Amino acid sequence: MPETGTEEEGLVIPRNLKVEENRGNMGNEGAGIIMQVENLSKTYSQGKISVHALRCACITVRKGELLAIMGPSGSGKSTLLALIGTLEKATEGRIILDGTDLTSVPEKLLPRVRREKIGFIFQHYNLIPTLSALENVELSMRFSRMPKKEREERAKALLEKLGLGDRLSHKPSELSGGEQQRVSIARALANKPAVILADEPTGEVDSKTRDSIVRTFKELSEKGQTILVVTHDPEVAKECSRVLRITDGVIKDY
């Protein structure tokens, strides 16, 4: 039988990109594994010099974990996030996310994988300035084949859950930094991703707003959403369920 899979826009996802998902129990939590990073490495070439940004990283992430990633500048934090987010290709190793081997997905299908399995939250929010909060969240679902009315209803529900029910029609310039970040969190949740990748999400807000964002992450984690947070802030890290530290491309689990 030919190896065929789900079709979208004339593209076929081979069945061999799917791997058996580990649904075993993990200690007292009993949560299944949502992501497995196996011997992941990334090497850049600068002329005749090889720079090892990440070295044989191995990580097991349970569904619903709120995981902090810490380390000095240039240690490999952003590289790890970029590899998991399929924004860069690994030199070696693989990433199994929600039953799919991300490192084997054809280039043409990567946008679909990002849309369906990964939510991104950025330090600088990356909201479209001409769109309202509701429109920014609804836009992220445009390619999901969901009817417009359902997209708007879901966007509204997410923003209301994040305390922005009275800010639906406000543009980013009319929102505080904390409110803009909550819009970006709603946008990241819109397509029900397997994992959310947050890159310094509290880097440009005050301590009160930071604490509010971290509370939101914890509430989402308790409901089963898996979140990886790159942060320099020990106050953020201490609220996470686990901390990974990266030094010179090598990961240590604490």
100: β partners: 18, 97
Residue type, 164: L
Tokens of 171: 């543009």
**How far apart (Å, rounded) are the C-alpha atoms in residues 87 and 15?**
22
The reported pTM is 0.85
Query: How many C-beta atoms surround the C-beta of residue 249 within 10 A?
Result: 22
Residue 34 pLDDT: 96
Residue-level pLDDT at 180 = 93
Is residue 170 very low, low, confident or very high in pLDDT (cuts 50, 70, 90)?
very high
pLDDT digits (tens, 9 = 90+) for 66-120: 999 999 988 999 899 999 999 999 999 999 999 999 999 999 999 999 999 999 9
Q: Distance of alpha carbon 163 from its chain centroid, rounded?
A: 22
**Which domains are delineated in the chain?**
7-253 (3.40.50.300)
What pLDDT is attached to residue 5? 45
- For 145, the token pair is 């084949």
Distances in Å between the Cα of 192 and the Cα atoms of 128, 131, 141, 235 are: 21, 22, 10, 27
Strand order in the sheet with 92-97: 49-62, 33-46, 92-97, 100-101
Q: What is the mean pLDDT of residues 229-239?
A: 94
State the residue for tokens 């959310």: 196
Residue 92, phi then psi, degrees to nearest 5 = -145, 165
pLDDT value, residue 25: 37
Q: Mean pLDDT across the chain, nearest whole number?
A: 87
Confidence label for 219 from pLDDT (cuts 50, 70 and 90): very high
Distance of CA 217 to CAs 14, 41, 95, 130, 240, Å? 34, 28, 23, 27, 9
Count CB neighbours of 116 within 10 A. 16
For 118-173, what is the HEC assignment?
A: EEEECCCCCCCCCCCHHHHHHHCCCCCCCCHHHHHHHHHHHHHHCCCCCCCCCCHH
Lowest mean pLDDT among 13-22, 109-118, 147-156, 205-214: 13-22
Contact 57, 39 (CB under 8 A): yes
pLDDT band of residue 254 (cuts 50, 70, 90) is: low
Q: Is the dihedral of CA 222, 87, 232, 53 positive or negative?
A: positive
Strand-pairing partners, residue 119, are 196
- How high is the pLDDT of residue 253? 74
Cβ atoms 119, 189 nearer than 8 A? yes
Tell me the per-residue pLDDT of 109-134, one tens digit each, with 9 for 90 and over: 999 999 999 999 988 899 999 999 99
* Average pLDDT, integer, range 170-182: 94
